Every structure is written in structure tokens, then in C-alpha cells.
Structure 1
Amino acid sequence: MQTSRRVSFNPTSIPRLRTPSAPRRDFYNAGRIPRNGWKGNCGRGIRRESTETGENRTGHITATPNEGILFFDNIFPLKLTWALRLPWQAERNLPDLLRRFNSQTLSSFEPLNLVKRAIPQSVPMKVTEILPRLKDGGAFVKFSHPDGITANEIGGLVSRYLKENPIKPWFSPFRRIRSNLVVGKPWLEDLYRFPSCRIKVEFVPTSPGGTAAELSQETLYSLFRKYGKLAEISSQPSDSKIFPKFAYLDFARMRHAIMARNCMHGLRVLEAEGGGAAGTELRLSFEQRLKSHWIWDWIASHPRVTIPAVAALLATAATLVFDPIRTFFIKAHVDHAFHIRDNRIYKWFKSQATDIFTFRIHKSEEAGLGAIWDDRKQVIDQLQTWLMETADTFIVVQGPRGSGKKELILDQALKGRQNTLLIDCKPIQEARGDSATISAAAASVGYRPVFSWMNSISSLIDLAAQGTIGVKSGFSETLDAQLGKIWQNTATALKQVALNSRKKDDKDAALGDDDWLEAHPECRPVVVIDNFLHKNEESSVVYDKIAEWSAGLTMGNIAHVIFLTNDISYSKSLSRALPDRVFRQIALGDITPEVAKKFVLTHLDSDQNDASGNDVKLSARQRQFDINELDECIEVLGGRLTDLEFLARRLKTGQTPKRAIAEIIEQSSSEIMKMYLLTVDKGDRKWSPEQAWYLVKSLASNESLRYNEVLLSNTFASSLTPSASNGEAVLEALSAVELITIKTHNGRPQTIKAGKPVYQAAFRQLTEDRVLRSRLDLAILTELTKIETKSIDKYEGELNMLGSLPRQPREVWPRITFLLGKLASSQQKVEAWEKEMGALKKVLMDEY
């Protein structure tokens, strides 16, 4: 049964698109038109038709002595070879091409028409088969010829005709169709092997078990040069053990390589042509060049250059795309463009609902703070005046925690000002890990989008690249660099916000941006940096970058910068950023007893006047009695706002001032015990419990201590705790956690006081506990005894060394006398401390 052929290269293979025509015989048609089911053979054997994989799918086509095969190239575009990668494409058969070949209705754009035009009518040949090769861009044409002419002559006539009458397809208007006679045995495979400019020529024996000769480059050149220009011939190395032997032919053009492969595959080279005694068969296959993807290969082979280059390109692209978006969001954060509380509709609804929803707590707090703002009116006016002046320096507001620094700036000095930016250093400094720190810094200024998680991924990439190529890739950036990007974008946004107030018809319109900002300090936004040097244990990149960035804002006249800090040593950090400037400073301390009393009473009056309150109302007699006690309690409590507010809330519940102050002192004592004196879960403390108790005990009897006197005490000068060996560092650490407050004079530390006024009373309460006092005094005496014992050991060792000398010169007698005196003094101290320790141990054993 004969098989039909189907087209895999032309849409006319679809029945509805096929041009209808009756099959007919003419000069080009050899034999009959096969029909399905026809089994006659007209007196000879049945001939199987060829498919795209050859006769009977063997991969080869044969030609009788009076037949030949021509290969025509440039029939199909090579760019269509991707269609052969589809899974269904390789199973399609060729159609009955001869019928279409002989059709008179072929379109000028059809490939069959190109083949028909390429064969002149004057050549005595009959086309018997057409086998298109889509991935090679050509077609095999089998023909028969009479006895008086050879296939070589016919091939020469066709080639000459195409040279004299060039035919150029529509998809390749600059290249003509070429034709050559197939001299080998072509292999019609449908594998996923696609043409290239390189051909691998294998030299195989003509019969199994035979030997093949390796053809020289001259022989290969003479055989293949007629198909196109050869760029290179590469022979197999002489010492290679790979069989069969092979050589590489590099053609200048791919179509030349396609022609050579299809015409020369299976050619037998005889002995006279250099093929050896038994002859050599050439087996040709396309070989993909090693540098077919030379760009990717070069990138992969030069990672030290390409990886940093890719990182730079990605960073540049990200900057160009995301920086304008981030600047927009920072501007919206600064000028409160999306802040709902500044919306007119929200304000209207809030004003309408004020009579329905009464927030008593906020009212009482505002009323209480009003008394303090009246007392600090001069400070508020001073701040507002500084914000209207041109001064390239910082404004620093220093005060202990709870002194109302933030409320003073935001609620009073900057009240009604739109362009303000608050940066809280506390969440940024306390964030764990670089990603969390970046996220906290970005959130404080409205910097978005922020891809903080990319920092961890890029760090892993950078680590892998460093382990592979030995250098960093540049994908990851340090925390310093990423914080610098955030602050740089913020500075750009602040400058744009400041310039938004500039108008074209302004009298200073001719000035440049920098000059205009210098001339209009009232238009600059205000940056408030809260909790600066929070937990300032050591130099931090967060504080350094903020100070450096703030200096740039101030020197560039971009914004006013106000620092709020609890640390008295802020000048050390800020002076590194602005070394040649004098800061404008405001020190906020505790309020006076008169203002403190007014603050508490205002809280109580606001609560009593609220008719909707549910708290217990005080009778006139009880209220008068409480007010008489209030003076004494405020004297103990001091003028710290947080403590006064705590007292006012307790008084609202009906407690008397004495009971409230007693509970506050008791609570403060418990905090001091847990945070400073107990050794359980001490973590990374920079002080020892003995040093903290020394200060508590000393301040309980004296309101202030001399700074240098404390440093010279044995507990601070000779502590056995490694982390507490530096006395000055210990005092700074205790000041940072607010156990004590260090007062300065002419820039040097002078006196030490309690961290809060209420701590003074708490210190006294702790020292009145006999058991606690005995326990902690015993710890101090034990440490002092160890210190003196070490000194005694040192004295005895030196005396032993001096005594071991053969003769004691007169010059060493003063030293011996000195050491003996020191030894006796230390021994007396140890004996006295042992007696005290015995008494303290007895108290601990007898009392609870």
C-alpha cells in the first residue's frame, strides 16, 4: 500500500486552503498519480513513496542508474526551524507534491513555484520526487534522465541556468537560489539537529571491519570548496584516541554549509582521491560552534567583571525607577498630604462629634500641660524665634526623661506648622538586624517602597560570589550605605518641600535655589530628632549617620534641625558633625514646686468639672485636706512630669496624697532593686550591684556626691567585675539608665544626684531595710576584702623576692619599710571588715 505525503511547511497543506485541481500528467510528472487503495503494479514491483524521513522511514533515498538528485537551497526561510521543535511537527508526512508541482494555479509565493521556476524546460529531465527540508531551508528533487546525458551534466545545466537567471525568494531578496548535484547518500533525519556554519566530517570505513583513511586538509578543501568559502579547516589532533577520526569544516555562511552537508553526506572517497586502499566514506553532521553563545560564555567566564557590572546596572535601574517614587512619598509624609487628621472633612466631623464623644483624659492632660506651658512660655518663644532666623547650627533641647521635651516642641513651638518631620531614634537603634534597622529608618521618614528583605538575599549572593571568585560582587550594601540612601532621598524631598513656597512673581524670583532658601528661613521645614543618643553605650552608625545628615541639612539651608536628647554628653557626638559651630541649647529640668502643684490641681479641677465623669468626686473637706498634704508630697516627688501625672491619676481615684506618694516610692524601690541591685538576669550590665548599692547608700544620706570622690572609692577604682573596672564608664552607664544624674560645671562632671527626685526617697526606703542593707553591705565588704587580700599577696610576694637576695643593700630598706607598712594597714582593714561581716551575717541569720 502506498503512503501519501503531507506538507509541514506550507499552509496549503490544509484541505480548505489547498487549490483544487485535477491531477494530470505532463513532462515533469513521472509515472502515475498514486491513489489510496490502488494495488496494481502494471507489471512491476510496487514502489514505496518517500516521506520526510526517506523511503520507508529509513532516512535515505536511493537513485537508480538513470536517476539523480538535486538539492535546491534558499527555498524556505531558516527562521522557521523553530516550528520543528513542536512535539506534533515531526509526525507529519509530506503531501502529494508532484500534483501541486504540476498545478497551473500555484501562487508566486509558494515554495513549489520557486522549485518549478528553478528547473528550465530545456533540460532533458523528469522530476520524480520532491522532498522539502524545512529546517535546512531547501528541497531535494529526484529526477530521471535519458541515456545520452549524465546526472552531472544535468546538474551543471541547472546550476548555470540559475546563475544566468537568478531567482530570489520574497523572504530573501538579496540571495538567489542555488542548486548542486547530490554526490553522496543524503540522510533525511528529523532529529532536533539544526544547521550551523560548522560541519563535522567523520572518516568511516566503507565496509564493517575495514579501515578508513584520514583525509588531509588539502583533500577536504578540494572536495568542499565548490559549495562555498571555507573559513577554517580543523583536523583532529594526531595523538587523539577518539575514533572514528574526524575534522571540522567552518564555512563562512550557513547556507554553504547546508549545501555541502546535503550533497556530500555518504560520499565514498576512492584510493586515487586519497581515501586509502579500501576507500573512505564521509559522514557529515552539523556541529554547533562552541562560541555560538559567546556573549553568555564570556559573561560566565569573567564573573569578576560581569557580576559587579550587573550589580551596578541593577542599582542604577532601581535608582532611576524607585527614587522618584520614594521622594514623592517622603514629601507626602513631610507635608502631611495624606494625613487624615488634617483633612477638612475629617475636621468637620470631629467638630460635630465633640459634644457627643467627650474624651476626658485628653482634656485633663491638655489642661494640666497648659500650666507648664505658661511657665515655659519664654522657652517656647525662644524656639520660635530661632526657627525664623538663618543660622547654620543645631538646636538642642536636653532634659531628663519625662521632662516634656517632645510635647514642648511638637505641641507648642511647632503648633500649626505643616512641614515638620519627626524621626524617633529609639526604634531605629533598638531594631535587631540590618533589615529591621532599614525598615525602621524608612518608616520614620515615609520612605517607600523599601525592600529590606533584599538586604539578606543580596548578602547571601555576595557571600557566595566571594567564596567563588574571591571578591565581593557588589550586590549587597552595608548598613551605612543603605541608611545613607534613605537620608539622601529625604534631603531631596525636604528641599523640594521648602521650594514649594517659592512663587514666580516673588521679589526674590531671580535668586538661585540655595540663595532663596538662605534668604527665607521661615519656609524651611523642621526636622525633629527625638531620643537622640538613646542607650548611647558606644558609637553607633545610626547616630553618626543622622548627625552627619543633619549637618548637611543645616549647612545647606534645607531645614531646621532640633535634637531632643536625655544624654548630657551629646556635644561629643554632634561636634563631630559640626566641629566649628556653637549649638543653640535649651536645658529642660524639673518644674518648680509651685508649677508642679498647679499642674496636679489643674488635672483635678478638669476632672471635677466634667459632669460626665465616672470617677469618685472628692468632698470639699477631703479636697482641702488633700491640698494641705499636697505640698509635702510634691516636695518629695519633685518636678518630673511623668511622676506628677502619675500622682494626679492616683488622686483622681480617691487616694490621699500621702498614700499615693507612698505607693509611688514603693514602686520606685522595686524598680531600683530589679534593675540595678539584683544579680539575676543582669545581662550586659556595665556596672556591678556593689557599685549601684554604693551610690544608693551614699545618696540616701547626701543629696549630692562629689564626682571624683566616687571614682576614688575602692568600689569604683578596684572593682573585681571585668565589665565594671572603668569607674567613669560605670557612672555614664548608670546615668544613661537614670539611676543617677551627673551635673556638670564648665564642661566637666562635678556632682552626682539621684536620677529622679522620687529616687531620693526610694534610696532612703531601701537603706532602712535592715536585711537588704546587711546583704548588700556584706557583698561590698566581701569585694573589698578580696581586693585587700590581692594587695596583701602582692606585698608578700615582693617582700619574699627582696628577702631572697644574698645581701640586702641599704637602698632597699625604705622599700621594705613601705611594704611592711602597707601590709599592716591592709591587714587591719581586713580584720575590721571581718568583724563587720560577722555582724551582718548575724542580722541575715536572725531576721527575715
Structure 2
Amino acid sequence: MISRRVLLRLPMRPSLRAPCLIGPRPSNTGWPIGVPRHPRPLVRRWESSSIAKSTAAGDTSVNTTSGTVGSDNTGHIETGPNESILFFDNIFPLRLSSVLMWRAWETNELLGRFNSASLSFLDPIGLVKRAIPKSAPITVTEIIPRLKEGGAYVKFTYPKDISATKIEDELVKSLNKKPVKPWFNPLRSIKSHLVLGRPWLEDLHRLPKSRLRIEFVPAKDSEAPTELSQESLFSLFRRYGKISDIVSQPPDSKVLPKFAYVDFMLVRDAILARNCVHGFVIQEEGSKNQTRLRLSYEQRVKPHHIWNWLTNHPRIVFPIVAALLAAFTVAVFDPIREFFVKWVKRQTSDIFTFHKRHDDDAGLDALFTHRKDLIEAMQNSLLETVETFIVVHGPRGSGGRELVMDQVLEGRPDVLVIDCRQVVEARGEAGTIRKLANQVGYRPVFSWANNLSSMVDLAIQSTTGVKAGFSENFESQVTKILQTTASALKDVSLADKKKRDRDANLTDDAYLEAHPERRPVVVIDNFLHKSDERGVVYDRLSEWAAALVQSNVAHVIFLTTDTSFPKPLGKALPDRVFHQITLGDLTPDVAKQFVVSQLESDQDVNRKGDKTNENKHNKTHDTPTITEKQRRRDLQELDECIDLLGGRLTDLQVLARRLKVGQSPKKAVEDIIEQSASEILRMFLLANKGDGNSASSTDKKWSTEQAWYLIREIASQERLRYNEVLLTNTFASSLTAGAANPEVALESLANAELITIRSRHGRPATIGAGKPVYQAAFHRLLADPVVKARMNLAVLTELAKIEAKNIDKAEGELSVLASLPSQPYQAADRVNYLLAKLQGSQKKIVGYEKEMGELKKVLTEEM
């Protein structure tokens, strides 16, 4: 066993050999016993090398040079009698070895500088010369740099009356007393030790590591190597630096050769040990055989206990990670998003007033004067604590948006507008989320991250069997955006609450209830636009709006043209009555005043230009000046034209624009009616041609025959009874897929604005044209013999098919009754009923076919 005293003294006396090592020792020549020599020492010399002259005692000189791969490229350095090798560490920087490899460090020009007296402190060769004391009785014969290991081999000769170990002792003591520190590593001095083994000068791409793999190989072919104990390894390697651990090979391991790991604290110490001990032949205490040590660098595998536990417990880790990510999102991104929501709301009023035009303002004054009572009623509602919605309903073009934004909310600072049209028309769920976030100012939004997180969640679920919960579905993301917006709205409502106010002692809820005038206003425009798409968005918006009004956070105004709005809103607020405002068409007097006011505003703008150019036109042309009275003479036709056109705001604006470009009222109205008729023909009657519009989609809930039936009957009667239409065969027995439900068909046609359904006492009562100009357009379509014949033929064809279906049903039932073994007298009434029904259907088919023949004749004769 090795005494503790000896182990502790080893680093202080590097010249001592390990006490546990017995047998071969280095001879006076510096070469260990038992190591086979080359039969003939070969020393490779550079062709242009210069032999340095011997100097006085203590002086050193370069005698030979060698390549980096040893003598004759064998990878070893051969020594002769009275020759040994020292390894100097910390001569070159380790991190720059790949760069230094490109420079010719081994040339004789570099090595020849060893004898120079003017060596710079930056020169690596100068560091070697400074490290060797002048009193050392040695003569340097070779310097072989090891760039990737940051050191150099120095082969030297020494007198016969002194041993190499004493020279090593003197060198170590000199470096301890007068450390030599390189410029690139001022914290560590140069260290040097005698090379005990047979160094291997390889130029492989193997970078130094702090762990050494010590392999125990036979010193002689006939002898089995002995595995060294940890005590022996410690005694041998501790002199080169502090050791952190020694790991022996497991006893049951069958890996050959046997090995052990020695882990140094520093990479430089491992380099020094590897270059000094590689190839050293040693005999373990108590063993008869010698062992050669073969050293190599080994990548230390650090234990990752935390990572191993995380990867081995995914069912615990992934939910925790998901919770941490959610908490991080709430803590970091939610305050940023609330800030942007507040900023967007404060900019809303400026955004909506930016696009207004002077002529639109002048033309809308008449409309706003006509609806002054509605405006005042809505403004009063915004000053009261009414926990319900304000619903502004009217057909497209009735001016609901202008009424609310330009009059009711004029001058109000905190207004948030959500346009459902942009949200539901976005492409895909990610696009819908992005559009909704843009509407409320919710940013940053990572709509693309949901697809990535869904893929990760699916991969984790397929491997672990547990859903990690990283991804959020579409509905949860919409809810999160709306919840963040609600939080920002509440902060805006409480922004004016001061500590000095008399209501400062009230709670937030009590303060909001006491000050309805300070609540922001949320306007949800185009509600139920394409209600069959993105129904989740409308449901979440309804529930969110209900929470806002019930908690007194904000006032909510819905703008919609869909007649089915009571269903989703009633589901969100089942115990409230909506403050509903219905916008109808303008009366003829107000409609005329609206058109004239727009013309007058345009003439006021151009009046100055006409006066300044009047003299110029009179001089160049003989045309008389057009007076204001002559310019307005054709406006006397407005009364008759507006009766045909109706009071729809958008149609009146089209009429005013046509009048401004010089058309007469009659001509303008004729063009509008013609355009409307073409639109109806394309959208509703020829929809089955598949022209790409929304009405021609395969999922429509009405048929062409139903649309034509309504056009034909409304053109002749103007108003139809709702229930009477439901009982007609065209609606009650439609053979078109998707149009079998008559009420759904009528509601779909109303949403498409072909018809208007008016209610009485809360129930649908009458059916009329979608807008006033459609009444004239219906007459125009009936006046076209080809359109009328084609559409009537389609209706009669469907009616004939319906009757034929009734006949098939009656015949089938009669065949069942006829198959009975005996004809019971109780079935006689049923048989007579079926026969009468069959006869009636047959008569109808005969009548339909007669009419169809006449219509086909018209189609063959008319162009």
C-alpha cells in the first residue's frame, strides 16, 4: 500500500517515481527499462537546417530539427545515449491552434531563432529559452512544437555524470521560483516535465480533453498486462496536476484492452500527463508482468440528471411546461396587448372621420334630420344604465352605419368598432384570428403558432399517449382575444376615476354603474354577415357583448341587416329585451330632399369655377350661358322617378351621382332599374349556371323556382301573405336539395335581399320586394317574354314532377292494397281516396303540360 505521506509529497517532488511502482526505472540515458528501442536511431533533419554551435556551459543551442510527426514520419521521437526529452506546456494558445497550423512553425527559420539574443517576449521559442535555466547542463538538439496541444517537445543531451531526473528537478524548481507566463495566458505559468514514455506525434484531428483514457497493453507479446489500481494511477499522474476523479473499468466488463479514466481539473494538466506518460512501461506492485500505458483523450460524458428526469416523465413535464408558457404569456404579452387595445380605441374616432367627404355630409343632413328622433333616443340610451343591447336593424343601404358613427357617436372619444365582414371573410382559422385581433388592436398575435403547436401536441400525444395541451382550438383563441379586450375596456372606463372625486370610495362595479356616460362604446358592424360561416365567432361575440353590458363595462351597439338576429342575441341575453331600432326606407319627400341636397352641395363647390370661366367660354364659343334655372329644369321629373326608385339610401346616392354627370332623372332611374333586373337575373334566376357568385353555391337554401315564384307574385300583388306562400307546392314540396324547408328558404332569400319579410305582433306576416327599386325590376323581368317563359317553364316542370311523385306514391299504396288476399270493405274508402288523388294529379299534369307546350313555343319563336 502507498502511504498518505508519500502521496501528498509527490506533487512537490516531481523527480520521485511512484512508490508503488517497482521494477523498471529510467536509466541514466533517460529511457525506461523494457521499452524496445529502434535498432538504428533515425533522426530526421531538415534539408536547410543549420547546425548550431556549442556554447559555453549553461548555454543552449539548436542542433537538429524534426517534423511534427516524428522521425521518418513514424510518429515517435528517437533518442540516443545521454539524450532525453522534456515537454513544455503552455507555449501556444489552445484556442488558436487551428489558425497557427497554417503557419510553418517547424521550419528552421523559426527554430533557428532559439539561439538569437533578440527574441521577443511574444515569440513561443523565446518562452522555451526563458524557461530553461542557464545553469542547466544540457544542449538542446531538437524543438518539436505541438500546436494543437499548446506545447513543445525539447530533446536535449546531458553529461554522463548526471541523470535526467536531476535535470528535471532543477528545471521544475527553477520554474516554481521564477515562473514564466506567456502573454496569452498570464494566469498560468509554463510547466515542464521529463517524458517518461515514448511520445506519439500524431497529426490527427483529435483535440485535447480533460479526461485521459489509460489503456493497459502488454509490454511484451508473451506477457499479459496487469491492470493498475487507482492508488498507482494517482501516484503516477498527480504530479502533472490536480485530479478530479479516477474511474476504473467495471469488473464484469469484457472490453479489451483493460482501461481506466483519469479526469484532470484542467485540460493543460491532461495534455502534460499524456505527452509525458504515453508509452511508459510500468510494473504494478505484487505483479510479475510489466504493463505499457497507452493514453488518449476522451470526451467526458457529463451526467444530465435533470434532463434525464424531464425526458423520462413527459406526462408530468409537458403539462407543467404548458402552464409555465401560459403564465409567461399572461405576464408578458397580455399587458402589451391591453395597451394596444386602448391605443386603437383612442384612434378610432380620427380614423372614421378621415374618409368623410363634404358632399356626403351635405346629402346626409336631410337623412339625419328625418331620423332626429332615433338619434336622440340612442344618445339617451348611452347616458343610462341599461343592461341590454342596442340593435340597429335595417336593409343594406339604409344608412345605419352613418347614423351611428356620424351622429350618435359623434365626438365620443372611446369607440371600438368590430367589422364582422372582414373577420368571417378571412381565409382559414389563422386568418380569422388575425383579422379579429386587428379589429380590436390585439397585438402581438401569433396566429401561425397554433398550427405548429398542434403538430407538436399531436407528436407528443402519439408518443406518450397524453395530450400536452400546447395548442389552443379556434374557439379558445377567439375567447382569449375578447377577454383581453374586455379587460382593456374596463381600464378605459375607470381611467377618469380620481381619488379626489366624491365617488372615489365606490367600488369599480358601483362606479361604472353610477357613471354610464364614461363607459366606452363597442359597435359590432355587419353582425350575422354570412351567418352560415364562422358561427362560433358570432356566438362568442354575443356572449362577450352580453358580459360587457351586464358588468357595466361598455355599451354595445349591433348593426345588422339579418332578420334572424334575435336568435343568437336572445341566447346570450335570455332575460333582456333589446333596444331595437329599425331603419326603413325614406319617404318620397325626404328622398327628394336628400337627392336635391347632394346636387346643391356639388353645385356650390363648382359655382366659383363656373363664374371664373364664364367669360372665357363666351369668347371662344357662341354657346349661351346655362342659367341655374335651366340647369334644374329636369328635376321636376324627380317626383315620378323617386316613386319608382323608392327611398333606399344607396339607390338615392346612385341617382344623385348619375344626375351630377348630366343624366336626366328618367334616364337615370331607367338605368338603375335595368341594372337591378340584370342583377336579379344573374344572382337568383340563372344561379344554377355556376357563375361563381355566392348565390350559385351548392349549399344555398332556396331554389330558382322559389325565387321566380316570389318575383312573379310580388310584381302582381306587391304584398304576399307569409303563410300562404308556405303552403304553395313550390315551397312546401320543393324537389331541390337544400330548399325543402320553406321557412328557411324564405329567410335565406330575405338575407340575400330579394325579398323583405315584415312582422306583425312578433310573427312574420307579409312578404315584399327586397328594396323598392326591385318592385320595378320585377315588372321589368316579367315584361321580357323569354325570361318569363323560361322561368314559368321551370316552375311548371317542377310542379309536374311533384304531381308525378304524388301519383307514384298513390300507385305504390294501391299496389299494396291490391296484394291483400281478400279485399276488405274497410279499405274501400282509402282506395277511392287514392284513386281520386291520382286522378286529380293526372289532371294537373295534363294542364301543366299544355301550358308548358305554349311556353316552349314562345322560347322557340322569341330571341
TM-score range, shorter-chain basis? 0.7 to 0.9
In 2, Cα distance between equivalents of 1:699 and 1:158? 118
The aligned length equals 780
In 1, Cα distance between equivalents of 2:222 and 2:504? 95
Asked if 1 retains the 8 angstrom alpha-carbon contact of 2:65 and 2:144, the reply is no
Answer yes or no: is 1:390 the counterpart of 2:385: yes
Answer yes or no: is 1:645 the counterpart of 2:658: no
Amino acid at match of 1:334: K
Matches within 5 A, 1:101-180: 136=149, 142=155, 151=164
* Structure 2 CA distance for partners of 1:84 and 1:625, relative to 1, 3 Å: closer
* Structure 2 CA distance for partners of 1:362 and 1:341, relative to 1, 3 Å: closer
The two structures, once aligned, show a CA RMSD in angstroms of 5.0
Task: Name the SS of the counterpart of 2:556 in structure 1.
Answer: strand
* Structure 2 CA distance for partners of 1:706 and 1:513, relative to 1, 3 Å: same
2:18 aligns with none
Matches within 5 A, 1:368-767: 368-447=363-442, 478-484=473-479, 486-607=481-602, 611-612=607-608, 620=629, 626-627=635-636, 629-653=637-661, 655-678=663-686, 679-681=688-690, 682-684=696-698, 685-767=700-782
- Quick check: 675-684 or 539-548, which moved more? 539-548
TM superposition score normalised by structure 1: 0.76
* Structure 2 CA distance for partners of 1:198 and 1:843, relative to 1, 3 Å: same
Asked if 2 retains the 8 angstrom alpha-carbon contact of 1:98 and 1:129, the reply is no
- Report the CA distance between 1:306 and its aligned residue: 8.5
Task: Name the SS of the counterpart of 2:96 in structure 1.
Answer: helix
In 1, Cα distance between equivalents of 2:252 and 2:476? 55
2:195 aligns with 182
2:620 aligns with none
2:848 to 813, 833, 846: 833
* Structure 2 CA distance for partners of 1:229 and 1:530, relative to 1, 3 Å: closer
- CA deviation profile, 1:316-360 (whole Å, cap 9, x unmatched): 7777666655554443332239959999xxxxxxxxxxxxxxx9x
2:819 aligns with 804
Question: Among the aligned pairs, what percent are the same residue?
Answer: 50
- Report the CA distance between 1:568 and its aligned residue: 1.8
Asked if 2 retains the 8 angstrom alpha-carbon contact of 1:195 and 1:254, the reply is no
In 1, Cα distance between equivalents of 2:857 and 2:732? 29
Amino acid at match of 1:680: K
Asked if 1 retains the 8 angstrom alpha-carbon contact of 2:524 and 2:558, the reply is yes
- CA deviation profile, 1:397-449 (whole Å, cap 9, x unmatched): 11111111111111111122232232222122222234543443344344556
- CA deviation profile, 1:662-718 (whole Å, cap 9, x unmatched): 332222211111110012222343322111111111212222223333233222223
Asked if 1 retains the 8 angstrom alpha-carbon contact of 2:634 and 2:665, the reply is no
Amino acid at match of 1:420: V
Asked if 2 retains the 8 angstrom alpha-carbon contact of 1:604 and 1:648, the reply is yes
In 2, Cα distance between equivalents of 1:96 and 1:776? 110
In 2, Cα distance between equivalents of 1:301 and 1:561? 52
Task: Name the SS of the counterpart of 1:742 in structure 2.
Answer: strand
In 1, Cα distance between equivalents of 2:756 and 2:375? 25
Asked if 2 retains the 8 angstrom alpha-carbon contact of 1:396 and 1:586, the reply is yes
- CA deviation profile, 1:266-321 (whole Å, cap 9, x unmatched): 24578999898xx8755432122455899999999999999998888788777766
2:809 to 786, 791, 794: 794
2:19 aligns with none
- Report the CA distance between 1:461 and its aligned residue: 7.3
* Structure 2 CA distance for partners of 1:136 and 1:307, relative to 1, 3 Å: farther
In 1, Cα distance between equivalents of 2:271 and 2:264? 12
* Structure 2 CA distance for partners of 1:229 and 1:674, relative to 1, 3 Å: closer
1:336 aligns with 347
- Quick check: 372-381 or 825-834, which moved more? 825-834
Answer yes or no: is 1:194 the counterpart of 2:171: no
1:49 aligns with 65
In 1, Cα distance between equivalents of 2:404 and 2:701? 33
In 2, Cα distance between equivalents of 1:153 and 1:269? 20
1:820 to 821, 835, 846: 835
Asked if 2 retains the 8 angstrom alpha-carbon contact of 1:48 and 1:55, the reply is no
- Report the CA distance between 1:640 and its aligned residue: 1.3
* Structure 2 CA distance for partners of 1:202 and 1:816, relative to 1, 3 Å: farther
- Report the CA distance between 1:194 and its aligned residue: 2.2
Asked if 2 retains the 8 angstrom alpha-carbon contact of 1:215 and 1:274, the reply is yes
Amino acid at match of 1:596: A
In 1, Cα distance between equivalents of 2:49 and 2:634? 125
* Structure 2 CA distance for partners of 1:164 and 1:362, relative to 1, 3 Å: closer
* Structure 2 CA distance for partners of 1:516 and 1:813, relative to 1, 3 Å: same
Task: Name the SS of the counterpart of 2:417 in structure 1.
Answer: strand
Asked if 1 retains the 8 angstrom alpha-carbon contact of 2:141 and 2:156, the reply is yes
Task: Name the SS of the counterpart of 1:335 in structure 2.
Answer: helix
Answer yes or no: is 1:266 the counterpart of 2:266: no
Asked if 2 retains the 8 angstrom alpha-carbon contact of 1:236 and 1:245, the reply is no
Task: Name the SS of the counterpart of 2:496 in structure 1.
Answer: coil
Asked if 2 retains the 8 angstrom alpha-carbon contact of 1:269 and 1:275, the reply is no
* Structure 2 CA distance for partners of 1:164 and 1:591, relative to 1, 3 Å: closer
In 1, Cα distance between equivalents of 2:230 and 2:296? 15
* Structure 2 CA distance for partners of 1:342 and 1:635, relative to 1, 3 Å: closer
- CA deviation profile, 1:524-562 (whole Å, cap 9, x unmatched): 222222111112224523333433443343344333221
1:777 aligns with 792
In 1, Cα distance between equivalents of 2:122 and 2:668? 109
Task: Name the SS of the counterpart of 2:652 in structure 1.
Answer: helix
In 2, Cα distance between equivalents of 1:273 and 1:335? 91
- CA deviation profile, 1:561-608 (whole Å, cap 9, x unmatched): 211111122122223444443322211111223322332333344455
* Structure 2 CA distance for partners of 1:268 and 1:411, relative to 1, 3 Å: same
- Report the CA distance between 1:196 and its aligned residue: 2.6
Task: Name the SS of the counterpart of 2:738 in structure 1.
Answer: helix
1:286 to 287, 293, 297: 297
In 2, Cα distance between equivalents of 1:726 and 1:341? 42
Structure 1 unpaired stretches of 5+: 1-33, 344-358
Asked if 2 retains the 8 angstrom alpha-carbon contact of 1:330 and 1:446, the reply is yes
In 1, Cα distance between equivalents of 2:247 and 2:827? 97
TM superposition score normalised by structure 2: 0.75
Task: Name the SS of the counterpart of 2:526 in structure 1.
Answer: strand
In 2, Cα distance between equivalents of 1:583 and 1:776? 42
In 2, Cα distance between equivalents of 1:723 and 1:749? 22
* Structure 2 CA distance for partners of 1:704 and 1:144, relative to 1, 3 Å: same
* Structure 2 CA distance for partners of 1:194 and 1:706, relative to 1, 3 Å: same
Asked if 1 retains the 8 angstrom alpha-carbon contact of 2:82 and 2:159, the reply is yes
In 2, Cα distance between equivalents of 1:142 and 1:200? 26
- CA deviation profile, 1:771-809 (whole Å, cap 9, x unmatched): 222211111111122222233233333333443344455
Amino acid at match of 1:821: A
